[in-house]
Amino acid sequence: MYYLKKTKKSKTKQAPGVKKPSVATLVKKLDRVFSEFIRLRDSKPFGYKYFRCISCGRILPYEEADCGHFIGRTHMSVRFDELDCNAECRRCNRFSSDHIIYYQKNLEKKIGKEKLDLLIARGHQTKKWTAWELSILITHYQEEVNKMLKERDGITL
């Protein structure tokens, strides 16, 4: 019989007094950065001043935008998926019980039926994020947000 020899796992040493952030902390941080990215992305066609709500279609000031999820945030497999998230007015996102009907209809117009079906399928998958994955996404979306903010601040209307 063949036996694998167990080896000691090497641990990377970290500086004394420096604590690694927990996955929960990183999810919260990514939620903030990703939400800002989505709201900026969807306000870009309007000079970063306004956005069109994915559900009701109203054009409103940027400050009234939420990052709306077609598939709820509890589904971690698509929580940070750019196709799942779109700028949505606070009224639709927080208070309208039937907003998801219009969200789906308008999302299908935006991305097409095939991509919507794939998104729904991915929403049924399980995903457990690692701290490393979350850190990479935070860095990526923070860079994207910084680019858009720089672009926005350079626009004179």
Write down the domain spans for the chain. 23-151
Helix/strand/coil for 69? strand
- Please enumerate in sequence order all residues whose Cβ is within 8 A of that of 89, keeping only pairs 6 or more positions apart, or say none: 53, 55, 56, 58, 60, 64, 65, 66
Choose among 29, 39, 36, 42: nearest CA to 138.
Answer: 29
The answer to whether residue 86 scores a pLDDT higher than 70 is: yes
Q: If you search the block for the tokens 């789906």, which residue do you land on?
A: 104
Note the pLDDT tens digit of each residue in 4-49. 455 555 555 666 677 889 999 999 999 999 999 999 999 999 999 9
Can you give the pTM of this predicted structure? Answer: 0.85
